[in-house]
Amino acid sequence: MAQPPATVWFVGAGPGDPDLITVKGRRLLERAGAILFAGSLVDQAATQYAPPGCDIRDSKDMTLDEMTAWLLDACARHDTVVRLQTGDPGLYGALVELTRPLEAAGVTWKVVPGVSSAMASAAAAGETLTLPEVTQTVILTRVAGRTPMPPGEELEALAAHRTTLCLFLSITLLHEVQRALRAAGWAEDAPVVVVHKASWPGEEQVVRGTLADIKKKCQAAKIASQAMIIASPALGARAWPDLARSKLYDPAFGHRFRKARSPATELAAAAGLTSSGDPA
């Protein structure tokens, strides 16, 4: 009997906590014949959902060509093959490099998104990445290292927008982050949060500081890898004395699910009165 066509699923494992993988991702792991997981970044506990007899391989010591060969070999023996990646497969992963040879070989592949460490880090710190009348834009980027940045994407240029910055793969270049933000006009007391291993059970660390002192604080905490840097004008908003209210939930803002109400009507509703002033 012919082997059914195989599918390689690129599954986002999320930021580290195996409970944060999507339901669809977990179901694929539960029926997978083979799993290739990024052991240097994905907690091996994420493979705890694999069925007995599943062929599981850690890719941290493999080259791209070796990973491709492993996936193609697995496709010859199993109908469901999973490449388990950290965070979301579309962010700083080798998705394109791995899918091109699969397509050339006629192998079907699909992507299951995952929770990014940017979102998990904001959650760990209890922060919002956007805030009405403060910032409505989030930039996901990194500092140039061995991989150069395309023209116009230098951190100094992006930081000039004064919006939320989520910096991946940059903790060892924190001095360069400080230089770029200063050059873009950020104040020395601008808040910065660094989250190490966001959501990892028993390993997560949150370091709060300013542009001036965040590097020293990370050095004191011995954080030198697997960390998200968040610089944002919205950081610390929970402690602000005043906040602009969201228009979506403002009583005076109407939409198809709710009619707009005047301030007088809102006060009457809060007091339990009808529009005529009688008790509701």
Q: For residue range 122-155, list pLDDT tens digits in order.
A: 999 999 999 999 999 999 999 988 888 999 999 9
d(CA 244, CA 238): 12
What are the distances in angstroms from CA 239 to CA 138, 162, 236, 242, 278? 21, 20, 6, 9, 38
Q: What is the mean pLDDT of the chain?
A: 90
Across 77-105, average pLDDT: 95
Instruction: Say how many C-beta atoms besides its own lie within 10 A of residue 55's C-beta.
Output: 16
State the pLDDT confidence band at 183, using cuts at 50, 70 and 90: very high
State the pLDDT confidence band at 1, using cuts at 50, 70 and 90: very low
Residue 270 confidence (pLDDT): 60
Give the residue with greater pLDDT, 188 vs 259: 188
| Strand, helix or coil for residue 4 | coil
Please write the tens of the pLDDT for every residue from 241-273. 987 777 666 666 666 666 777 666 656 666 665
| Strand, helix or coil for residue 177 | helix
Q: What's the whole-model pTM score? A: 0.86
DSSP 273: B
The amino acid present at 187, given as its one-letter code, is: A
| Strand, helix or coil for residue 209 | strand
CATH of domain 7-112: 3.40.1010.10
Domain residue limits, the chain? 7-112, 117-235
d(CA 46, CA 43): 6
Residue 252 confidence (pLDDT): 62
* Upper half-sphere CA count for residue 185 (Cβ side, 13 Å): 8
Q: Which residues pair with 79 in a beta bridge?
A: none
CATH topology of domain 117-235: 3.30.950
d(CA 14, CA 117): 7
